[in-house]
Structure 1
Amino acid sequence: MGTIWFNGTIYTMTAENKTVDAVYTENGRVADTGSVSKLRQDYAPDEEMDLQGASMYPGFQDSHLHMLGMGETLMSLDFSGMQSAAEMKQALQDKKTRLAPKQWLTGEGWNENNFTDRKIFHRSELDAIAGDHPVLLTRICRHAALVNSKALHLAGITEETPDPPGGIIVRDEKGQPTGYLLDTAVDTVRQMMPPVRDEQLQEALREAVRNMLSKGLTGGHTEDLNYYGGFQRTFRIFQDLIDHDTLKFRTNLLVHHEVLDVMHDEGFRFGPANDSLSFGAVKIFADGALGGRTALLQKPYNDAPETCGVAVTPKEEMESIVKKAREKGMPAAVHVIGDAALKYTVEVLGKNPPPAGTRDRLIHGQVTPPDLVERLQHMNVVFDLQPRFVVSDFPWVQERLGEERLRWSFAWKTLLEAGLYCAGSSDAPIEPVSPLEGIHAAIARRNPEESHDGWLPDQKLSRFEAVQLYTTGSAKAVSAEKEYGMIAPGFRADFTILEKDIFHVPLDEIVTTAVKAVVVDDTVQYGTLTT
């Protein structure tokens, strides 16, 4: 016996504007669609769910984020909404008064581009705030951090310490570390932090899933397995919480290349681990981020001509990792932002195509020159896009890239028109995890409170294209487009149910539309519906 879902606007996403009157689900799948009377007659359901005029969509999925990191951010000092260095300093001072002796002072999400003076704190300033505590403050991009002298000392970083491969220790004119660390240099300090307890990780993951459900998400593709004590411990945290009996949430686990061998030694393989958890592509970092000028560009930064960025994983090393992934029957998921990093990533993936039935993933892809887009049209890849990056990175990113490169940057419409598959994500905790905020950003390319025509307005997506990013797009990212992303017979009974119809409300009302319910595997996991 099954369930009928009716009395709402039900978008199937099988075609633009395609709706059905009602849906019949059984055993976690969509069995049929049609009129309420016919479905009642044909199936005699034992339950009916009244949508009460709400709008139902295939379950939204976030195609790239860090669930444990997001949970930690929700539970810790969060700088992401701060608009001045003074506000950040006050938050640090307040936090310091609540610390136990020798406890680390940590925080997430600062962004100097939001400050009028673009201030980046020096270690001496952090010493003045909390010199008797180690300090580690992660930038919004998660590719840079600020530390104080105590943290540098614990990590053994001095004026004589060389930059680690794939990282930079920023120094002053005398060669002294300033406390500003980029990419792998941050890991040197993180390794000195006391290990997080299982209870903390469990609560962080619980908070992340709770928050994601409340925002309308039925699942997410997350990269966490190389952190928090390694593969075994981190995977166990996911297994213990997301068990498909008490909590259903579609979770695809990207596998950082450094834990690939451990995963296989533990007997796990690419694909489903259980009904809720699956192992995804092998994660590789090609470069850094535009904010810290570590994204690898073919030509120097417009506002820092002394640098082109950082190759976190150089081409030869990437090729070795990709070949290893292929030997284990796995696609690759490459963090790539700059065009130079994209160029050698395309070369490596082109020489080593993914296994049959899978796609490689290009995460971010913010600078995509026409010649590389043309090459990508002949490859089996999908872009993991973060629409909110447009509203977060402009206008300062214009200073980084200059007008010429900007023409083919953040070019989501161009990628779709080239026939490339694109998925939607937040990269949370870097951006808000709300898919509605991402959908709005893809359409408007501005914040809701702003009145301009949007950043690079020719790259705006239609409402249908924007919603596709989080439905059919996210499904294609894991080669599951016959399982998720549409409301049609045979597809999973995963639904996002909203109080309003986001295809027809005024544009800025999309971000304030309430989530009425979230359904995973034919089971309401968030909100309430009338039966």
Structure 2
Amino acid sequence: MGTLLYNAVIYTMELEGEQVEALYIEEGKIVDCGSSKRLLEKWSRQASRARNLNGAFIYPGFVDSHLHLIAHGQKLLRLDLSQSTKKDALAKLEAQSVQDGEWIEALGWNEHNDPDHALLTVTDLNKISINQPIFVMRICRHAAIVNQNVLDLAGIDRFTPDPKGGKIERDEHGNPNGILHDAAIQYVQAVMPPLSKASVKKALQTAINDCHAKGLTGGHSEDLHYYNGLAETVDIYQEVVNEKKPFRAHLLIHHEELSAYDASPYTQQQALSPYVEFGALKIFADGALGGRTAALSEPYEDDPSTSGLLIHNQTALYDLVYQARKRQLAVAIHVIGDQALELALTAIEQNETVNQRDRLIHVQVAREDLVQRMAKLPIVIDVQPHFVVSDFPWVEERLGEERMSFSFAWKTLLETGIHCAGGSDAPIEPIEPLKGMHAAIFRKNDQGTYNVKEALTPYEAVALFTTGSAYAIEKEATRGKVKIGYDADLTILDRDLFRGGEEAFSQARVLETIVNGYTVYEKGGVTE
């Protein structure tokens, strides 16, 4: 007994523009698809449910190829500064009510939302409190701002050296100014109170409910290092993601969790359930453009004193890829700057391949020679189109005109034959896949339109979040299309994304989200 959906416009994503009118689902699989007339005649007696979709538009389930699910849930539950000016942010921090000794924490701070691009510093946070620890994570999650109380707790002073792969910003007298980059943040995280399992579980539940409401049937998430380690986080995923709350969770393994992974019972099994599975080994090669820690081959245009920050040198990066290969794992390497990209490509080229696809995450700044090297490798690039909306126009000043022709250059990647998958990097960018698709096609924000030669077609943009995300994890034969034998993961909208123009992407509403044949969201609320 199954479910028959008919009288719909169903885009298969098998070929551009290919449509069917109906599909039949049994035991989580698409058993048949075609015309409403034929499927009604064939399956209506056998179906336990026959549903008239009244012309709604069905797509293969949208999947976010790069996000941080638990952190997204925390953003929804905690103080979020992602839309705040400096004045607003300080007012919100001061309004936080905590007990003596408790930490005041906030996420999402972005100085580019301030009309003066004013930075938060230790001086600003000290005015709120010198007795309560204050910790503010920048939106990129590669920088944090803390008050003097936290600097003291972490033992950071003018004599503390920059850690390998990190930076402590200092004032003109050499004293820490409260801004910490990448590995330097770990000094503070080591003295922060551990998160309870219940709070992490609540964050994951909140995130998945939000994903369902946004039309997402799955996501490739990087969470396994930050919430009391791999073992506890995997337990939480298995408790939350199941038949009652189905979601295709593909979990990257942080390279600092390799020992925990080796000690776990999971080394011989990628899939832990129909909904939770392990993926590639996640490695960070550099930082982010916002804090000028993305590693560039030439100095930053707006600050020639720096070319960014490499988290690992070439030897260390090679060794991490080698460690992955010893365990028959692919790698997923965070690379934003072209210098980091060059080192990552060299490390991959010098190691054996495995039966999984390596992934390069972000690739915001490239060069023509590096694009050609990528095209020769069996890799996937995870792109996050919404960064165009957030990073322009300030990123043009940061990188300079000469670098822009191969920056945020997704059309070039696709036309060179490089496979790409689409994601959000939530909570850094909005999690809505429709916003990501809109950014990939129209490449604009309220200040202008940027490098339109790199704009994708609607079909290419939707493919990033369907066939592209499936290909990235070797699921192209079972997911990413509406096709007989494929998983019944579907996103149902009220708009035609291929014929509705820009308004379709900006105005479309999610009517229903289906995972493994189960309706997990219907317009009006998450289905429990």
Tell me the TM-score normalized by structure 1.
Answer: 0.96
Counterparts of 1:402 and 1:134 in 2: how far apart (Å)? 38
CA distance in 2, matches of 1:451, 1:121: 24
Q: Tell me the residue number matched to 1:145.
A: 144
Alignment deviations for residues 260-294 of structure 1 (CA, whole Å, 9 cap, x no partner): 23123212136211100010000000000000000
Q: C-alpha displacement at 1:354, in angstroms?
A: 2.8
Q: Does 1:324 align with 2:319?
A: no
Deviation string 1:410-440 (CA, Å, 9 cap, x unpaired) is: 0010000001111110100000100010010
Structure 1 residue 464 corresponds to structure 2 residue 466: no
Deviation digits for residues 384-404 of structure 1, max 9, x if unmatched?
Answer: 100000110000001110000
- 2:70 pairs with 1:75: no
The aligned counterpart of 1:125 is 124
SS in 1 for 2:474: coil
Residue 200 of structure 2 is matched in structure 1 by 201
Residue in structure 2 matching 1:413, options 411, 414, 433: 411
- Match of 2:94? 93
Counterpart in the other structure of 1:16: 16
1:439 aligns to what?
437
Does the CA-based 8 Å contact 2:496-2:504 persist in structure 1? no
Residue deviations 1:211-246 (CA, integer Å, cap 9, x gap) = 011000000000010111111111111111102x21
C-alpha separation in 1, matches of 2:475 and 2:129? 49
RMSD of aligned alpha carbons: 1.3
In the other structure, the counterpart of 1:4 is 4
Give the superposition deviation at 1:319: 1.0
Q: In structure 1, what residue type is equivalent to 2:149? A: K
Alpha-carbon distance between aligned partners in 2 of 1:106 and 1:100, rounded to the nearest angstrom: 13
Q: Secondary structure at the match of 2:292?
A: coil
Q: Post-superposition shift, 1:509?
A: 4.1
Bigger drift between 308-317 and 415-424 goes to 308-317
SS in 1 for 2:465: helix
Give the 3-state SS of the residue equivalent to 1:218 in structure 2.
strand
Distance in 2 separating the partners of 1:470 and 1:363: 15
The answer for the alignment partner of 1:254 in structure 2 is 252
1:508 Cα deviation from its structure 2 partner: 3.7
The CA deviation at 1:364 is 0.3
Instruction: Identify the match of residue 481 of structure 1 among 476, 482, 492.
Output: 476
Q: Give, in angstroms, the shift of residue 321 of structure 1.
A: 1.2
Residue-by-residue CA offset, 1:298-356 (whole Å, 9 max, x unaligned): 00011111111111122211111111111111100000000000001001101114313
Q: Which moved more, 1:46-55 or 1:209-218?
A: 46-55
Per-residue deviation, 1:50: 2.1
- Measured against aligned partners, the alpha-carbon deviations of 1:431-453 in whole angstroms (never above 9, x if no partner) come to 01000100100011113xx384x
Q: Give yes or no for contact 2:338–2:366 (8 Å, CA) kept in 1.
A: yes
Q: For 1:96-143, what per-residue CA distance to the aligned partner results, in whole angstroms no more than 9, with x for missing partners?
A: xx1111111111111112212111122122111122111110111100
- The 3-state SS of whatever aligns with 2:95 is helix
- The equivalent residue for 1:362 is 360
Q: Is contact 1:284-1:313 (8 Å) kept?
A: no
Q: Deviations over 1:451-504 (max 9, x none)?
A: 84x211111000000000000000111111111100011110000001111222
2 CA distance for matches of 1:407 and 1:195?
Answer: 44
Alignment of 1:499-518 (within 5 A): 499-518=494-513
- Same amino acid, percent of matched pairs: 44
**Structure 2 counterpart of 1:379, which letter?**
L
Partner-residue secondary structure (3-state), 2:444: coil
Aligned position for 2:167: 168
Decide whether the 8 Å contact of 2:68 with 2:221 is kept in 1.
yes
CA contact (8 A) 2:495 2:504 kept: no
2:66 aligns with: 64
Distance in 1, matches of 2:502 and 2:228, equals: 44
Q: Comparing 245-254 with 111-120, which one deviates more in the overlay?
A: 111-120
Q: Secondary structure at the match of 1:63?
A: strand
Q: Does the CA-based 8 Å contact 2:4-2:49 persist in structure 1? A: yes
CA contact (8 A) 2:317 2:343 kept: no
SS in 1 for 2:71: helix
Tell me the SS of whatever aligns to 1:77: coil
Match of 1:426 among 420, 424, 427: 424
Query: Which amino acid is the alignment partner of residue 135 of structure 2?
Result: L
CA contact 1:21–1:36 (8 Å) conserved in 2 = yes
Counterpart-to-counterpart distance in 2, 1:393 and 1:222: 22
Q: Which moved more, 1:174-183 or 1:34-43?
A: 34-43
Q: Match of 1:182, SS?
A: strand
Secondary structure at the aligned position of 2:320 is classed as helix
- Aligned counterpart in structure 2 of residue 389 of structure 1, from 387, 390, 411: 387
Tell me the matched-pair count. 521
CA distance in 2, matches of 1:469, 1:380: 17
Contact 1:332–1:354 at 8 Å: present in 2 too? no
Equivalent residue in structure 1 for 2:521, among 509, 526, 529:
526
Higher mean displacement: 269-278 or 165-174: 269-278
Higher mean C-alpha deviation, range 326-335 or range 119-128: 119-128
Query: Compared with structure 1, are the counterparts of its residues 508 and 446 closer, same or farther at alpha carbon in structure 2 (3 Å cutoff)?
Result: farther
Q: Distance in 2 between matches of 1:50 and 1:434?
A: 27
Q: Which runs of 4+ in 1 moved over 6 A?
A: none
Letter of the aligned partner of 1:262 in structure 2? Answer: A
Distance 1:436 1:81 in 2: 20
Show the counterpart of 1:29. 29
Provide the residue aligned with 1:242 in structure 2.
241
In the alignment, is the contact (CA less than 8 A) between 2:393 and 2:447 conserved in 1? no
After superposition, the Cα gap between the structure-2 partners of 1:52 and 1:353, relative to the gap in structure 1 and judged at 3 Å, is: farther
Counterparts of 1:475 and 1:62, CA distance in 2: 10
TM-score of the superposed pair, with normalisation by structure 2: 0.97
- Separation (CA, whole Å) in 2 of partners of 1:213 and 1:383: 25
Residue 55 of structure 2 aligns with which residue?
53
Provide Cα deviations, 1:186-212, integer angstroms capped at 9, x if missing partner.
111111110111111111001000001
Assess if the C-alpha contact under 8 Å between 1:288 and 1:311 holds in 2: yes
Per the TM alignment, residue 27 of structure 1 is displaced from its structure 2 partner at its CA by 1.5
Q: Residues of 2 paired with 1:77 and 1:114: CA distance?
A: 16
Contact 1:330–1:354 (CA under 8 A) maintained in structure 2: no
Amino acid at match of 2:391: D
SS at the partner of 1:363? strand
* Structure 1 counterpart of 2:105: 106
Counterpart position of 1:116: 115
CA offsets, 1:356-386, max 9 Å, x none? 3x21000000011110110111101001100
CA contact (8 A) 2:299 2:305 kept: yes
Matches within 5 A, 1:338-377: 338-356=337-355, 358-377=356-375
Alpha-carbon distance in structure 1 between the residues aligned to 2:82 and 2:124: 20
CA–CA distance in 2 between the matches of 1:512 and 1:232?
A: 41
Unaligned runs of 5+ in 2: none
Query: In 1, Cα distance between the equivalents of 2:3 and 2:313?
Result: 53
**Which of 399, 402, 423 is the equivalent residue of 1:401?**
399
